[in-house]
């Protein structure tokens, strides 16, 4: 699954650790999602969308 997580994070000048803390996950999890090595669970995807005040479909798209 493709995502805009890295771009959205950079636009806010957030580190991976800052986003991880907001989401309650590890920095490694944020890195894995950004690089496409890991697809987040649905609850985590909703939490990501909430943190960025966007819809899930605005952040994630199918390959």
Which pLDDT belongs to residue 19?
98
Which pLDDT belongs to residue 63?
77
**pTM of the predicted model over 0.85:** yes
CATH number of 2-61: 1.10.260.40
Q: At what angle do helices 27-34 and 16-23 cross, to 10 degrees?
A: 110
Which pLDDT belongs to residue 59?
97
Q: How many CB atoms lie within 10 A of CB 63?
A: 5
CA angle 36, 57, 34 (to 5 degrees): 20
Phi then psi for residue 54, to 5 deg, are -135, 165
pLDDT digit string (tens) for the chain, length 63 residues: 899 999 999 999 999 999 999 999 999 999 999 999 999 999 999 999 999 999 999 999 987
Q: Are 27 and 57 in contact (CB under 8 A)?
A: no
């Amino acid at each position: 699954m493709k995502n805009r997580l890295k771009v959205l994070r950079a636009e806010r000048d957030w580190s991976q650790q800052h986003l991880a803390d907001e989401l309650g996950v590890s920095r490694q999890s944020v890195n894995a999602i950004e690089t496409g090595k890991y697809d987040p669970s649905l609850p985590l995807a909703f939490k990501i969308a909430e943190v960025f005040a966007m819809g899930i479909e605005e952040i994630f798209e199918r390959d």
